[in-house]
Amino acid sequence: MTHRMSLRVYYEDTDMAGIVYYANYLKFLERGRSDAVREVGCDQLDMRDRLGIVFVVRRVEIDYLAPARMDDVLVVETVTSKLGGATMVMDQRVLRGETVLVAASVKVAIMSLGGRPARLPAEIRQQLATLME
């Protein structure tokens, strides 16, 4: 299942040239991932408080293909392409209409609150598996 989340570009998202500042796409992608895991029933606050584990970004590969500008309506698409015992890879795209502006692959690791790698509990793994195509 591909998760889709819409957002609008505001003045604060742009740089001096009037286009979205490159680092702000990381925020857009984070919102898309957070929205996707929430939608499949994965409660990140519960994971932290009850299980003592959190998601952390380990690696991001990103291609900037075309600019977005103030007042554009964008869609962030998120799909899980790999789901391991302690990591997952989420592929994401930011689109304006049919035009792909950004393509990214984000490797997310599971970590204990003490900073150690942790395994993904079976229940959460099943929830996240629904985001796979």
12: left (phi over 0), alpha (psi -120 to 50) or beta: alpha
Q: Write down the mean pLDDT value for the chain.
A: 95
Contact criterion met (CB below 8 Å) for 36 and 75: no
Percent of the residues in the chain that have a pLDDT greater than 70, as a whole number: 100
- Examine the residue annotation and report whether 15 is marked as an active-site residue of this protein: yes
pLDDT value at residue 56: 96
pLDDT tens-digit readout, 75-90: 999 999 999 999 999 9
Region of residue 115 (left: phi > 0; alpha: psi -120 to 50; beta: else): left
Contact partners, residue 12, CB within 8 Å, separation at least 6: none
Q: What average pLDDT score do residues 29-36 get?
A: 96
Least Cα distance to 30 among 67, 55, 66 occurs for 55
Which strands sit side by side in the sheet containing 73-83, from one edge to the other? 3-8, 73-83, 87-96, 99-112, 53-64
What percent of the chain has pLDDT above 90? 88
Query: What letter would DSSP give residue 13?
Result: G
Query: Phi/psi at 132 (nearest 5 deg)?
Result: -85, 145
Q: What is the tally of structural domains in the chain?
A: 1
Domain that holds residue 64: 3-129
Tell whether the model's pLDDT for residue 62 goes beyond 90. yes
Active-site hit among 15, 49, 63, 71: 15
**For residue 58, what is the domain's CATH number?**
3.10.129.10
Give the pLDDT score at 132: 86
pLDDT band at 102 (very low <50, low <70, confident <90, very high): very high
Residue 133 pLDDT more than 80?
no
For the CA atoms of the chain, what is the radius of gyration? 15
Question: Please, which pLDDT band fits residue 131 given cuts at 50, 70 and 90?
Answer: confident
Q: With 80 as the cut, is the pLDDT of residue 65 above it?
A: yes
